[in-house]
Structure 1
Amino acid sequence: MTTLPKSAHRGALTAGQQREANRFTAASAALRRSKMWLALLLGILFWFSVPYSLPRHQPNANATVQEADNSEQFQGAISRQLAVPALALCACFMLWRYPVRGVPGGRLLILICVYVVWALSSTAWSEDPSLTAKRLAVFAMDCFVTYALARTLSTMEMALGATIAMFVTGVFSVLADIFLIHSFNPADADYRLQGVMTPNQQAMNLVACALCCAALMLRRPRWVPWLSVILLSTLAMLWITRARIGTILCIVLLAIALNKLLRDRVRPHVRVGILLVLLSIVVPLLVFVVGNSGGDAAQTAFMMGRHDTENTSNLSNRLPLWQELLDSVEERPVLGYGYGAFWTEQRAARISHDQGWPVPHAHNTYLDQVIILGVVGGALYLAIMVSALVVAWRRYLHLRSSSNLLNAMLLTWLVLLSSSESAPLDPHMPTMLVYIAVFRMCLREGSVDMADPEPDRPIVEGIDAATFTVTQPAPAVSPVARAGHGTGEHKVFPSRHASLLAAQRRPS
């Protein structure tokens, strides 16, 4: 519950001041409850807005069924048609009822606006204008949902909800492999955790979960025991996806988070002792592995036990795919084929036939952007992501908070992963978290998510009453229409939430 500061207790409160304080506290608690219920609803809608499906076959058992499943994302499923507009309605509710945080501005925001206008304009030159219009309608709703989440929820609130949702998805995928398709066998080098999505998508889900979990450990040290269980379970599931690039990026970024945790919580001489213990374990282990495997040790570690070493030279069949797609780029290099107009079901089936494996996208976000929006759109997208990445790390170096670190880690992960996977803006939670972080970099530094609050402060925030003052008799204040829109006179709010507006106050 939100409590009043010590300054409020220096003198006896009048009856009117006490009523005002009680209303403020009740509004704060109501806001936190509303966010919790909304988080549950958003988790359900995110599930149905992405083409997840229960597995019906072994991963390599029936190519025809695989292609049929692969084509489902090109057809508007009724669940997606209902879930995406429902997400937009939730975004409207959040902007209406929740305090809005942050002050937009800066050159990055201009880049984003130019990119959005370019994408919307692609209907004029699209290969299939009607299809582009449909995809742009979904794109516009995705942008609106991203904006609403970035403006109304804190980074740590998003991290908490995303950790729970993505971890549950991972556990459900393990159960699906065990009980539905009976393929769960981590000892088999050819097994990859799949569940309700492809192994690479599953790896993206688990990497984002691990990064959010690490940030929560930094933000709330008392949660470290049970968060450690979630993190270790997530890393175990990530390992059996055998997604090499995602796993490597995850380990590197978690090492950065661990370094911050040790610097914040452990004294220097203890850190040296921990380092020595790790070296005493890792070095003998490396000597043993190299001694037994010889020159194959590095390749085995990189392949994560997979046997498809023949595909390593062509990046798991990506190079032939990119060569074929570059031929299509040469036909429309400047403007592209129009947003969403290239990857039709027919073209995906033809390219899949040429490559000999199901291909729903370019397996390269930057190449996908060039295909649909031309060199102009691809350059704009690259500029947005790199600029957001630079801003994120600058903010973290300026103020080493867990929120700033999480935004920087998420952006680093997706910017590097995008060279081997496609990550469009859609309600897929891992990528949505990154694009929310992109928009947070458009909010002026100092207007939102500054230094980490005290450890006892709830992760799910109510209304910030850190400097709420009632030491002076409060004059009559006109009621505010709704929470988060309008501040009453004579009420001071802290600089950290200077852009937030006060709680709902009802007339007595």
Structure 2
Amino acid sequence: MASADAAIGIPADGRQRGVAGRDMPDVLRVLLNGFVFVLLWNHVWLKDLSDRSMLAASEDGSLLTQVLFLGAGAAMAAAIHRIGVRHLHPLLTRPLVLCAVWLGATALLSIEPSLSLRRLVLFAIAAMLSAGVLIVARSPRQLALTMAGSALVIVLGSYLAVALVPNLAIHSAFDVNSDPSHPGLWRGIFPQKNEAGAAMVILVIVGLYVATVASRLLGWAIVLLAAGFLVASGSKTAILLLPVILAVTGLCQVLTGGFLRRLLLLGPVIGFSLISIGSVLAPPIQDAVGALLTDATFTGRSEIWQFAIDNIMIRPWRGWGIGAFWMTERTMYAGSEELTWVTTVDHAHNAYLDTALIGGLPFLALTVVAFVLAPVRDLQRVAGGMRLDAETMLFLRLWFLGLVSASFETVLYNGNNATCCMFMIAVFGLRLRTRYAVLAR
């Protein structure tokens, strides 16, 4: 049995000799990955939501975000080079490469090329960080303990923020674009309660992984702390999706056949898509959903979805470019005869619509192949007919979280979004385990 030298199962005796295959001290591995996880989960702490400057178009981006991601990206690039970039070669699949090429091409053809190229660089760094943590972690236990430390920084920081600076950690009536239902809901160190809710779902999943691999006490402490904050955030989408994620992925331990697993995993994704986009495109679905749910969009998002669909059809083949549609002067101040609150939102609240806005309908099709269908195939290659081990279950839960969240939040191609980054870790992890998991047994 070969010893594994990475969380995804790279055998220690398979490391490349020479400059590109040297070892890294454990302390550097833990510090780098710990910083990266905190950065990906939230890097905008204690945002003042009463600042009216947030109402303006935000094409310049955040200098702090750029500095943090550039610094982390440089450190991760050095670590990947030292360990051996060849260990990431399994990620060069045709669907993923085609997605990258199309994304780059549409950025060049964007209505705002300079803006799209900046956003593309940020996303590329986030993707590299998401892949890098998988080979920087020496073992599943080290990955679990590193994630546990980062999770405690986030969740305890959020509780302390609520206790010490409630004006910056709890929604109030003074928030710009304040929703009548938001005052009193906790957001902790996060910019918004929905971002806090999504992060807490991630931490619950991380806590379950820690409890299985490293420490039952520490893992369940993270689960309980994160679940408590999730309830206090009042994030309806996150609260609804968490039990669905745990139930469906838990059933994957029982239903091990390929067809049943595909049906179990893709069925809810199709269902949520019908509830969301389908309720806008098809009146019969809208009537059926309306009879079952008083608010199928959870926050009246149907207007946003219709606005997004209308603009997709303006540029259906190449899209508008990454980051070049929402919260830009063209969208917010384009001189429309009927300007509404819809033009001031920062995303479509639907990842599939935003993907089509970025790169057109062909890009949406490529994304479905690369990030929806291919991971299901990889899952069956890793654990077809068998129960799932802890790492595969972690990746499965994070991947499924991204897919079911995609119908109500923008969680694809957004390096600023925690769910997007964890989703990429899951997709990359499942792919890498098709190459290395067997070798590590």
Q: TM-score range by the shorter chain?
A: 0.7 to 0.9
Q: 2:165 corresponds to which residue?
A: 180
Pairing 1:162–2:155 present: no
Give the distance between the partners of 2:108 and 2:400, measured in 1 at CA. 34
The letter for the 1-side match of 2:430 is: M
1:402-446 per-position Cα deviation (integer Å, ceiling 9, x unaligned): 00111111111110111100113415444312202212233262x
Could you list the runs of 5+ residues in structure 1 that have no partner in the other structure?
Answer: 4-26, 263-309, 451-494, 498-508
Map 1:208-223 to 2 at 5 A.
208-220=202-214, 223=215
338, 348, 362: which one aligns with 1:362: 348
Pairing 1:419–2:407 present: yes
The letter for the 2-side match of 1:372 is: I
414, 420, 435: which one aligns with 2:424: 435
How far apart are residue 332 of structure 1 and its match?
Answer: 0.6
Pairing 1:251–2:236 present: no
How far apart are residue 449 of structure 1 and its match?
Answer: 4.1
Q: 1:418 to 1:406 in 2, by over 3 A?
A: same
Check the 8 A contact 2:120/2:322 in 1, yes or no: yes
Check the 8 A contact 1:139/1:426 in 2, yes or no: yes
175, 184, 194: which one aligns with 1:191: 184
Q: Which structure would you say has the larger Rg?
A: 1
Map 1:440-451 to 2 at 5 A.
440-443=429-432, 445=434, 447-449=435-437
How far apart are residue 130 of structure 1 and its match?
Answer: 1.9
Provide the secondary structure at the position in 1 that maps to 2:25: helix
116, 126, 129: which one aligns with 1:142: 126
1:66-119 per-position Cα deviation (integer Å, ceiling 9, x unaligned): x5336586433221221111122112221133366857448x821010010001
* Bigger mean CA offset, 328-337 vs 76-85: 76-85
Check the 8 A contact 1:163/1:213 in 2, yes or no: yes
198, 203, 207: which one aligns with 2:201: 207
The letter for the 1-side match of 2:308 is: L
1:346-383 per-position Cα deviation (integer Å, ceiling 9, x unaligned): 24545996126951111111100101100011111122
Provide the secondary structure at the position in 1 that maps to 2:436: coil
Pairing 1:329–2:323 present: no
Map 1:207-356 to 2 at 5 A.
207-220=201-214, 223-255=215-247, 312-347=295-330, 349-350=332-333, 354-355=340-341
Map 1:3-42 to 2 at 5 A.
31-42=25-36
Give the distance between the partners of 2:397 and 2:101, measured in 1 at CA. 28
Q: 1:410 corresponds to which residue?
A: 398
Check the 8 A contact 2:402/2:423 in 1, yes or no: yes
Could you list the runs of 5+ residues in structure 2 that have no partner in the other structure?
Answer: 4-21, 172-180, 255-292
Q: 1:189 to 1:380 in 2, by over 3 A?
A: closer
Q: 1:357 to 1:179 in 2, by over 3 A?
A: farther
Check the 8 A contact 2:111/2:324 in 1, yes or no: yes
1:137-158 per-position Cα deviation (integer Å, ceiling 9, x unaligned): 2233233333323343356544
Give the distance between the partners of 1:370 and 1:104, measured in 2 at CA. 28
The letter for the 2-side match of 1:252 is: V
Give the distance between the partners of 1:251 and 1:70, measured in 2 at CA. 35
How far apart are residue 391 of structure 1 and its match?
Answer: 3.1
Give the distance between the partners of 1:112 and 1:404, measured in 2 at CA. 20
Give the distance between the partners of 1:249 and 1:45, measured in 2 at CA. 24
Provide the secondary structure at the position in 2 that maps to 1:441: helix
How far apart are residue 31 of structure 1 and its match?
Answer: 2.4
Q: 1:396 to 1:412 in 2, by over 3 A?
A: farther
Provide the secondary structure at the position in 1 that maps to 2:431: coil
Check the 8 A contact 1:334/1:376 in 2, yes or no: yes
Give the distance between the partners of 2:314 and 2:123, measured in 1 at CA. 25
Give the distance between the partners of 2:57 and 2:204, measured in 1 at CA. 29
Give the distance between the partners of 1:156 and 1:191, measured in 2 at CA. 38
Give the distance between the partners of 1:35 and 1:73, measured in 2 at CA. 35
84, 100, 121: which one aligns with 2:69: 84
Q: 1:75 corresponds to which residue?
A: 60
How far apart are residue 336 of structure 1 and its match?
Answer: 0.6
Q: 1:91 to 1:392 in 2, by over 3 A?
A: same
Q: 1:365 to 1:86 in 2, by over 3 A?
A: same
- Tell me the percent identity: 21
How far apart are residue 213 of structure 1 and its match?
Answer: 1.0
Q: 1:408 to 1:177 in 2, by over 3 A?
A: same
80, 86, 90: which one aligns with 1:95: 80
| TM-score of the superposed pair, with normalisation by structure 2 | 0.72
The letter for the 2-side match of 1:116 is: A
Give the distance between the partners of 1:409 and 1:231, measured in 2 at CA. 14
Q: 1:44 to 1:215 in 2, by over 3 A?
A: closer
Check the 8 A contact 1:211/1:250 in 2, yes or no: no
100, 105, 112: which one aligns with 1:121: 105
How far apart are residue 257 of structure 1 and its match?
Answer: 7.2
Give the distance between the partners of 1:89 and 1:80, measured in 2 at CA. 14
Q: 2:440 corresponds to which residue?
A: 496
Q: 1:342 to 1:360 in 2, by over 3 A?
A: same
